[in-house]
Amino acid sequence: MLREQGETGVQTHVRAVRDWLVGRNRPVVLVTPFGQPRWLVYPLFGLRRVIDRLSRSASVWWYRHWHAVLLQRALQLRLADGRPCVIYAQCPLSARAALRARVSDVQTVAMVVHFNLSQADEWVDKGAIPREGRLFRGIRQQEATILPQVDALVCVSDFMRRELLQRIPAVGRVRSQVIPNFLADPGDPVFEAERNDLITIGTLEYRKNQRYAIEIVHAAAKLGRTLTLTLVGDGPDRAMLEALASELGVEKQVHFKGFVAHAAALMPAHRACLHVAHMENLPLTLIEALSRGLPLFAPAVGGIPEVFRDGLEGRFIPLGDSAGAARLIVEWLDSGVIMEKAGIASRKRYLDCFETDEIAGKLVEFLDGEPAGLHATQALNNVKRELTHDH
């Protein structure tokens, strides 16, 4: 549904998968709504700006509807010959477009679960739609209808797999596997001589919770420790965050970089990565930090405990307790021995669990696998056992 170029986790994942396939001479084609004629694309997408001023909910509906329509149109052209292929969809609407566009049973549809809890929840966190409103319920119902129809389902975290099984038990009939996000190896870490303390990367919006990161810097100052924080990203919360840093008297310690392409390249100029989102599936930012040998500080929410281990590659910090989080962070940052060990552990964790060659092969092997119907009975029995165990 997105443009080919961009810095979101979805776009990064797609590039990682495509690069791995291309490197092994596997045919791969990226299909997006933006491959359609400009005379069709630009008026539809441009009109959304006008609609957004009138109603944000209507703007979200317009975005989802027309992106899906144009993607389906593009897929129909691509799939018309009926040749065997795997369609690797990056969201429920993309999967629905693929299911409607395919013309043969040998064109299989697999979907990867990038979203946190639900795409409806993500739109709520952006402040775009009301929780439990008509559109919120509609998006969740679409997911409950579409996901059980795909031929295969990839969950990037066990956390989201379990969430889906609880919310949409019918997905238990779909062949599925937990395969984490992965990244190409940037090489052995080379750090800059002078480094700032913390870096956090992400869109400046409510869900990413950068307000809390600034509050941690302020809490550390009360403890007598001056922390430096680099905020990389842009978004609707920037003005509020800049005002907050000034209000708390830490504006000289908090550096706003704005949007930076390939932002992970800034990590070697920092001692650790801070991540304070309210909810995450399996954030690529933390994997990028591991790959560059940075210790991590993040709350144990969503799939984050699957990225790193508390006390080894970093520390789980509390949400809603900036003083407690500051104490944990300062304790580690002020110990050269702890930080060195954690950095080495981070790099090893990446190589063992998230390096492209280690994981991409598993993903492609799964996508190349047998149709879901051959595994339906076994999968359903598995989910029944899991849900019984949960209760």
Which H or E run contains 18? Answer: helix 9-23
Give which of 11, 87, 17, 14 is closest to 361, Cα–Cα: 17
Q: Same topology for domains 9-183+360-390 and 196-353, yes or no?
A: yes
For residue 336 the two structure tokens come to 């050269």
Q: State how far Cα 121 lies from the chain centre.
A: 14
Distance CA 174, CA 143 (A): 14
> Percent of the chain scored above 70 by pLDDT?
94
For residue 204 the two structure tokens come to 């400046």
Q: Which residue has the higher pLDDT, 324 or 35?
A: 324
Note the pLDDT tens digit of each residue in 215-238. 999 999 999 999 999 999 999 999
**Domain 196-353 = CATH 3.40.50.2000:** yes
Q: Where are the domains of the chain?
A: 9-183+360-390, 196-353
In this structure, are residues 332 and 315 in contact, taking their beta carbons and an 8 Å threshold? yes
CATH topology of domain 9-183+360-390: Rossmann fold (3.40.50)
Note the pLDDT tens digit of each residue in 124-156. 998 999 999 999 999 999 999 999 999 999 999
In this structure, are residues 34 and 2 in contact, taking their beta carbons and an 8 Å threshold? no
For residue 95 the two structure tokens come to 């999967």
The pTM (predicted TM-score) of the whole model is: 0.88
Strand 229-232 to 175-178 pairing:
unpaired
In this structure, are residues 34 and 3 in contact, taking their beta carbons and an 8 Å threshold? yes
* Rg for the chain, CA atoms, rounded: 22
Per-residue b or e along 342-364, where b marks 16 or more CB atoms closer than 10 Å to that residue's CB: bbebbbebbeebbbbeebbeebb
For residue 49 the two structure tokens come to 């700006």
Note the pLDDT tens digit of each residue in 69-109. 999 999 999 999 999 999 999 999 999 999 999 999 999 99
Note the pLDDT tens digit of each residue in 248-306. 999 999 999 999 999 999 999 999 999 999 999 999 999 999 999 999 999 999 999 99
Distance CA 209, CA 207 (A): 5
pLDDT at 370: 55
State the amino acid at position 268 in one-letter form: P
Note the pLDDT tens digit of each residue in 14-23. 999 999 999 9
Distance CA 8, CA 202 (A): 9
In this structure, are residues 360 and 330 in contact, taking their beta carbons and an 8 Å threshold? no
For residue 7 the two structure tokens come to 């810095």
Per-residue pLDDT band at 42 (split at 50, 70, 90): confident
Which H or E run contains 116? Answer: none
Per-residue pLDDT band at 43 (split at 50, 70, 90): confident
CA angle 158, 140, 103 (to 5 degrees): 85
State the distance between the two ends of the chain, measured CA to CA, in whole angstroms: 37
Q: What is the DSSP letter of 150?
A: S
DSSP codes, 327-349: HHHHHHHT-HHHHHHHHHHHHHH
- The SS3 assignment for 306 reads helix
In this structure, are residues 354 and 183 in contact, taking their beta carbons and an 8 Å threshold? yes
CA angle 282, 180, 319 (to 5 degrees): 20
